[in-house]
């Protein structure tokens, strides 16, 4: 396993992400957001009105489904993955490009790796930070009469659980022993101008 992605790997990735997008089944984020909305509403009915458990259930199921889906990309990604955590910024971008095309930047910024000892890191744990300029998940629930109940449930972070799943898949492949915990620090529903997601890397315990 290479320690760091070099020029050749980055060049192959630039070509490969376009081929993968051309071949991939196209994903409509608006439809996905509507499906999430209706699923949470139905779960809330089944759970006797418990919105928090309904949202948490969808997060868990989305992360599990995303992991299964993203495993299909590993045959291609294994050509460019490395052990260097900073390369995860590059690999995340390649993966999103492959799944959503060049327009992924409308919804996702490039993940930034922040080491534990970085002055900007207030957690003291290695993490990746991603800022999203738009959130369809939040946009499609604005007309719900109980929309304010969603604001403290990290509802907009549901899609980011897919990124966390992707990271864990790559970590397992290269031999890193990390669990990824997704935290939503800023949210449109709470009045912030953008969504900010922190993905903290906790070492697995035997």
Structural domains in the chain, sorted by start: 7-203 (3.30.1380.20)
Average pLDDT over residues 141-149: 91
Beta strands 127-132 and 112-114, pairing class: antiparallel
Of 49, 60, 29, 55, the residue nearest 154 (C-alpha):
55
Per-residue confidence (pLDDT) for residue 7, from 0 to 100: 47
Query: Can you state the angle between helices 87-100 and 160-174, rounded to 10 degrees?
Result: 120
Decide if pLDDT at 120 tops 70.
yes
Give percent of the chain with pLDDT exceeding 90.
20
Q: Residue 156: CB partners within 8 Å, gap ≥ 6?
A: 132, 135, 137, 138, 184, 187, 188, 189, 195
The band of 164, judged by pLDDT with boundaries at 50, 70 and 90, is confident
Decide if pLDDT at 137 tops 70.
yes
Of 60, 57, 61, 73, the residue nearest 25 (C-alpha):
73
Give the range among 45-54, 82-91, 126-135, 151-160 with minimum mean pLDDT: 82-91
The dihedral formed by the CA atoms of 10, 12, 13 and 14, expressed in degrees to the nearest 10: 90
**Is pTM beyond 0.85 here?**
no
């Amino acid at each position: 396993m290479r320690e760091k992605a070099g020029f050749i790997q980055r060049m192959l990735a630039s070509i490969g992400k376009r081929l993968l997008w051309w071949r991939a089944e196209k994903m409509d984020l608006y439809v996905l957001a509507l499906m999430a909305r209706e699923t949470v509403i139905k779960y809330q009915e089944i759970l006797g009105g418990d919105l928090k458990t309904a949202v948490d259930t969808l997060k868990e199921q989305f992360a599990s489904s995303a992991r299964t889906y993203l495993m299909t990309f590993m045959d291609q990604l294994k050509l460019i993955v490395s052990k260097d955590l900073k390369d995860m910024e590059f690999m995340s971008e390649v993966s999103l490009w492959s799944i959503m095309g060049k327009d992924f930047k409308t919804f996702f910024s490039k993940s930034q790796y922040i080491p534990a000892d970085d002055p900007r890191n207030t957690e003291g744990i290695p993490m990746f930070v991603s800022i999203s300029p738009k959130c369809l998940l939040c946009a499609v629930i604005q007309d719900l009469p109980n929309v304010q109940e969603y604001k403290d449930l990290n509802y907009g972070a549901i899609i980011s659980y897919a990124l966390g799943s992707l990271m864990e898949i790559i970590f397992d492949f290269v031999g890193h022993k990390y669990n990824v915990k997704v935290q939503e620090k800023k949210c449109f529903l709470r009045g912030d101008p953008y969504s900010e997601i922190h993905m903290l890397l906790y070492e697995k315990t035997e």
